[in-house]
Structure 1
Amino acid sequence: MLEGNHSTVIEFFLTGFPGLPPQYQGLVSAVLFLVYFVTLLGNATVLFLFATDRSLHKPMYYIILNLSACDILFSTTTLPKIITKYWFQSGTISFTACFVQMYFVHYLGTVNSYILFLMALDRYVAICHPLRYSLVLKNSTILILSITAWVVGKAGPLMLVIRAYPLPYCASNIINQCFCDHIGITTLTCTDRTSYGLAAFAFAMVTLLGPLAFIIFSYCCIIVAVLKMANLQGRLKTLSTCSAQLIIISLYYLPRCFTYLASNIGITFNADLRIVIIMVYSLFPPMINPIIYCLRTKDMRESLLRRLNRRTISQKAQVSAVSDSLEFVLHSV
């Protein structure tokens, strides 16, 4: 369609949480800012540890590196705008900027799904085929697979934007969401969105269920392999290496699949409840992922503790030096 078809809408308005009383808007914005700050701090710590500790240059940590980068980008794409809405009453976003945000929301979500697939692949080979792990999953192999995930992930979201951008938007410009997404935007069109909605649903299901199918298969194989172990301690140790990933995968996939299915089979939610669910599964995993890695992953936990110990020792040395200097001056006087 022609550009003029959507000339009546030049900007969109993000409602955030529509039913939120004004007296709680400051508290909600503070919580969102805290989530954003913790997400940046935690994931930046993971990037710093990886960059400064060569012992972490292993396939598993290359995957975690990609996930941290993806989490930082996703949170930066979505949170600043909704925070400024409540801080500065600035809920408007230009027509083009909304589609740019929509692209990155779906693109980074797709990449995240592919990275979780790589994490499951890593654990599957490590536990079910341990003797072949060093041959199958080298650092170079993970690098190639990671780049592939970032490149291949562009296609679907780009197609969604290309199809949605020229649609006629001549009705309401209010998006009942905290950020621009495909459903939120295309429901405002003046035409039948069925074909566009079905295409988006098919894309979401392929992006989610494709990797999820392999993840389920891989963990079924892992459970079978663990049950065959004679050593109970070995079983517990092996399951411990997978528990962190299972938490992350559950937080990412289960709410998403439920929300997509519910929206396409006619199950309706209160607008605020729907937005809260979307915000929880979109923003909670990026915030807790670094915490899980640093607490549950032995190498990363030890690397972090070494850094903290060095900092403590350095500070004690500085304090001691200052104390010695003062004592020398006092004795001289």
Structure 2
Amino acid sequence: MLHENRTTIKEFILVGFPTLHPDYYGLVAFIFCIVYFITVVGNSFLVVTFVLEPSLHKPMYIIMLSLALSDIGFATVALPKIISRYWFDDKFVSFNVCFLQMGLIHSFGTLNSYIMGIMALDRYMAICLPLRYPMLMKNHTMTILNGFAWILSMAPVSISSAYIYMLPYCGPNRIYQCYCDQHSIMTQACADYSYEIMISFTLAMLVLLIPLAFIVYTYVHIIITVSKISSSQSRWKTFSTCSTQICIISLYYLPRCTVYIFNMAGISMNQDTRITLILFYSLFPPLINPFIYCLRTKEIKLALARWFRMRNISKKFSIAAMPSMM
């Protein structure tokens, strides 16, 4: 639906948490700063580990690399502005920059949904079709799948963003969110935006529910296959390789679907609660992903142990060589 463009506002005001007292702004900024630092450093560590360790050049770790890069991208797009908002009271964001941030944030969210679908496919092939796995899931195949996910993640966001951008905005210009997102921006339009809500909701459900349905399908087959393993020890070992992914998938999908359904159904939710829930499902998985994969993945732990062992040996040789050099 086309609208006559009567946009008069030049910038938006990021309100953030509406009931947060200014005395706590510094604390909130500090917390988000720590979250950003840990997220970027942790995921960068995964990227560097993958690049430097040849033993990790396998399909599953290509998925981890893609997820780590996506998490770094999302955190870098969202968190610096949140930190600036509460640390320097920098609550203004220009009209076009707000739409750019919105597009990137939703693109990374869509990308994560696709990556989790690829991750489920990899586990399904490895557990349910182990003999065909080496032939079908090669490094170049996984690279193509992840590259396609990165490209495809931009399509639905571009469509919905174009419709939202064409809405007239003539005030108010206060966004009750810590960053620019579709729902918060649409509520600022001075026109009927029910059609745009329908478009955005439909696309959001497609990028969420189609991968989720595929993930549920694959894990049902994985559980059935694992339950047929005679050895209880082997059965537990196989299932434990998927438990981490199931946890991350649940954290990603369940709260996100709840917020979208509440928005579409017109069910009111306390603004602070809504913002907290969105920030939780957006920021918590990227924060904990590096720790989960480093602690639960045997090959990464072996690579780290080998690095530390080589470092200690190198340090001992350096100390032993010092007297002869003096």
Regarding TM over 0.5, the answer is yes
Aligned twin of 1:52: 52
Q: Distance in 2 between matches of 1:285 and 1:154?
A: 21
Displacement of 1:316 in angstroms is: 4.6
Task: Indicate if the aligned counterparts of 2:103 and 2:158 stay in contact, CA closer than 8 A.
Answer: yes
In structure 1, the residue corresponding to 2:217 is in which secondary structure? Answer: helix
In structure 2, the residue corresponding to 1:190 is in which secondary structure? Answer: coil
In structure 1, the residue corresponding to 2:12 is in which secondary structure? Answer: strand
Displacement of 1:320 in angstroms is: 5.2
Deviations 1:186-212 (A, max 9, x none): 110001110000110001100000000
In structure 2, the residue corresponding to 1:130 is in which secondary structure? Answer: coil
In structure 2, the residue corresponding to 1:200 is in which secondary structure? Answer: helix
Displacement of 1:23 in angstroms is: 1.6
Aligned twin of 1:11: 11
Task: Indicate if the aligned counterparts of 2:5 and 2:167 stay in contact, CA closer than 8 A.
Answer: no
Aligned twin of 2:199: 199
Between 266-275 and 56-65, the greater mean CA deviation after superposition? 266-275
Aligned twin of 2:311: 311
Counterparts of 1:137-286 in structure 2, within 5 Å, are 137-286=137-286
Q: Distance in 2 between matches of 1:305 and 1:254?
A: 36
Task: Indicate if the aligned counterparts of 1:5 and 1:166 stay in contact, CA closer than 8 A.
Answer: no
Aligned twin of 1:108: 108
User: 2:297 corresponds to which letter in structure 1?
Assistant: T
Between 302-311 and 211-220, the greater mean CA deviation after superposition? 302-311
Q: Residues 2 and 50 from structure 1, CA distance in 2 versus in 1: closer, same or farther, beyond 3 angstroms? A: same
Q: Distance in 2 between matches of 1:35 and 1:261?
A: 28
Aligned twin of 1:89: 89
User: 1:136 corresponds to which letter in structure 2?
Assistant: L
Displacement of 1:307 in angstroms is: 2.2
User: 2:232 corresponds to which letter in structure 1?
Assistant: L
Q: Distance in 1 between matches of 2:137 and 2:214?
A: 17
Displacement of 1:310 in angstroms is: 2.9
Q: Distance in 2 between matches of 1:318 and 1:23?
A: 52
Displacement of 1:319 in angstroms is: 4.8
In structure 2, the residue corresponding to 1:20 is in which secondary structure? Answer: coil
Whether 1:67 aligns to 2:61 is no
Q: Residues 267 and 315 from structure 1, CA distance in 2 versus in 1: closer, same or farther, beyond 3 angstroms? A: farther
In structure 2, the residue corresponding to 1:267 is in which secondary structure? Answer: coil
In structure 1, the residue corresponding to 2:192 is in which secondary structure? Answer: coil
TM-score (norm 2): 0.96
Q: Distance in 2 between matches of 1:296 and 1:68?
A: 16
Q: Residues 280 and 128 from structure 1, CA distance in 2 versus in 1: closer, same or farther, beyond 3 angstroms? A: same
Structure 1 runs not aligned, ≥5 long: none
Task: Indicate if the aligned counterparts of 1:32 and 1:83 stay in contact, CA closer than 8 A.
Answer: yes
Task: Indicate if the aligned counterparts of 2:167 and 2:193 stay in contact, CA closer than 8 A.
Answer: no
User: 2:302 corresponds to which letter in structure 1?
Assistant: E
In structure 2, the residue corresponding to 1:172 is in which secondary structure? Answer: coil
Aligned twin of 2:299: 299
Q: Distance in 1 between matches of 2:81 and 2:4?
A: 26
Between 198-207 and 156-165, the greater mean CA deviation after superposition? 156-165
Displacement of 1:160 in angstroms is: 1.5
Displacement of 1:16 in angstroms is: 1.5
Deviations 1:142-187 (A, max 9, x none): 1111111111111111111211112110121110001111101011
In structure 2, the residue corresponding to 1:19 is in which secondary structure? Answer: coil
In structure 1, the residue corresponding to 2:13 is in which secondary structure? Answer: strand
Query: What is the aligned length?
Result: 325
Q: Distance in 1 between matches of 2:74 and 2:222?
A: 30
Deviations 1:198-243 (A, max 9, x none): 1100011000000000100111000000110101011011011101
In structure 1, the residue corresponding to 2:19 is in which secondary structure? Answer: coil
Structure number with bigger Rg:
1
TM-score (norm 1): 0.94
Aligned twin of 1:130: 130
Q: Residues 22 and 2 from structure 1, CA distance in 2 versus in 1: closer, same or farther, beyond 3 angstroms? A: same
Q: Distance in 1 between matches of 2:272 and 2:210?
A: 30
Between 262-271 and 80-89, the greater mean CA deviation after superposition? 262-271
Displacement of 1:321 in angstroms is: 4.9
